[in-house]
Amino acid sequence: MSADATEEVSWLCAAVSLHERARSLFAQPELEWVQERVLAELLAVSDARSGALWTCAPKGPLQLRVWRGLAGRPPVPDVLSAETEARLRAGVPWEVFEAEGPALYVPFSVQGEVLGLCRLTDALGGAFPGEARAAAELLAGTASLALQNARRFLALQRLGLRDPDTSAYNLAYFTDYASKEMDKARRYNRGFSLLLFSLDNLGTLRSRFGPDEARAATRAVIRVFAGVLRDSDVLARVSDHEFYLLLPETDAFGAVVFTRRALQQVREAPEVQAVEAQLPLSLVAGASTFPRDGEDFDELVQRCRRRMEERRASLQRRLMLDGLDFWETVELLLGSAQSPRLPADGEAEPSRRGKVADGLFEALQAEVARELQRDPGTRGLVYVGAGEVRSDLAIARGLERAPAGLSARVYLLGRRGDFQAHPGLTPVFVAGDERLGRHEFLLWLGEQSAYALLQRRGKGATWGFHTSDVAVVDSLVAKLQSTYDLQPY
């Protein structure tokens, strides 16, 4: 056989092989399987040994879904920036030279709609030859259609599994989805959060005003929740008054932030306010995170229920603090020596008020600074309120050598004092507010803990209140942010 004939046969074999690879992407319609297969086939045709695949839900960001590599997870972001979209719309692979070596980027789009992006690295030959780029581009066209088809199949599948009364998914679908999410989290060393929320007074509402009013209240709450969900989040109805919510790739602090934002929007919704004018719904939520709070579904649900009970027993509910602003709440919690004792419950987190030792405020600031540096990756919010924002505050001194990648955000509130720019702190200068001159506070809301110290300095002794009640601390943080127009999350 001549050299030309041999080359033609080789080319035909390669074309047939590429065609078969493309056809294989339609063997199953499930999105998770298609994403895995797309990355596997692109690695094969490009002779790359490592890769990452981002895809997006309709109108959502590009999120990392699958990766394979020589050294585990590649050094890539979980979510791609919006600036990448302009280049993706061209639909042509491009090669760049990064610190790890050559990287081939393969975009996926159908009629201008961006569906995903694949990053291929560690080519066997050290670089990507023209044939590899051409094969990846051809395969990407079919892969785009396969991704679009799988996304539509998922939407149709979900459509038939919704509760007709609330449009939430049924429990069978939710359980299956949670099982798949757990498998994916274990495989890729990821996490997710589970949220359980309950309309505690729904039975009373039904008996007092009738079933139609109860159904309307439930639908109103679900509509508000649906407005803050991402496309990947799944909401399911468990019973008349209880719902599950699964938040993929959401850590413990992300679950705290989501819960607060969702409950706040529910409280502000006009249709919910109309119902609560007749009877409070008593909406209670509890969250857990995989794998920190449990490695199977039952453990996660149990932890959610435990946290719901803590919230039910919280001072936040027992003292009816929801309708008060920040300083009204501070004064109520501080009280005085003549104030009634704080209500106590075995389920509630400890809360105390009384005389506070000199130096406690400074000691707690130093301890928070040590804790943040001990684990710089811990996410959380810290607010320190003092008469003056100064560089000699204990938390400022404690964070002088904080690493640049500190994940927690620390804010100092007070009138401007002797303060120099600090990489680990954000000053919030408040002038003319006498309440900040009379009081000091430290609020810490983190992934695994919460704490608040409020104190009022007097002529004799300092009077204070401190608590580890998560609901109270979360509420104080939200009210402080609202009072001083601070970034809420």
Residue 347 confidence (pLDDT) above 70: no
pLDDT at 345: 60
Range with the lowest mean pLDDT among 79-83, 334-338, 359-363? 79-83
What pLDDT digit, counting tens, does each position of 236-284 carry?
888 888 899 999 888 888 898 888 888 888 888 888 888 888 888 888 9
Q: pLDDT of 301-328, one tens digit each? A: 999 999 999 888 888 888 888 889 999 9
pLDDT at 476 over 90: yes
- pLDDT band of residue 483 (cuts 50, 70, 90) is very high
- pLDDT cut 70: percent of the chain above it: 89
The structure tokens listed for 64 are 């990392």
- pLDDT for the residue numbered 229: 82
Q: What phi, psi does 42 have (nearest 5°)?
A: -65, -40
- Report which of residues 67 and 15 the model is more confident about: 67
Whether 383 has a pLDDT exceeding 80, the answer reads yes
Task: Dump pLDDT digits (tens) for 394-447.
Answer: 998 988 887 777 888 999 999 888 888 888 888 999 888 888 888 999 999 988
Tokens 């046969």 — which residue?
Answer: 9
More reliable by pLDDT, 110 or 327: 327
Average pLDDT over the chain, rounded to whole? Answer: 83
At which residue do the structure tokens 């996926």 appear?
Answer: 108
What is the average pLDDT across 31-51? 87
Grade residue 5 by pLDDT with cuts at 50, 70 and 90: very low
**pLDDT at residue 382 tops 90:** yes
Q: Is 92's pLDDT higher than 70?
A: yes
Reported as a single tens digit per residue, the pLDDT across 145-190 is 888 888 877 776 665 556 666 667 878 788 888 888 888 888 778 8
- Average pLDDT estimate for 132-152: 84
Q: What is the pLDDT of residue 444?
A: 94
| Longest CA span, the chain | 105
In this prediction, residue 13 carries a pLDDT of 43
Q: C-alpha angle 475/481/219, rounded to 5°?
A: 55
Q: What is the pLDDT of residue 90?
A: 66
pLDDT class of 134 with cuts at 50, 70, 90 = confident
Q: Which domains can be identified in the chain, with CATH numbers?
A: 3-159 (3.30.450.40), 171-312 (3.30.70.270), 326-483 (3.30.870.10)
Q: Are 412 and 428 in contact (CB under 8 A)?
A: yes
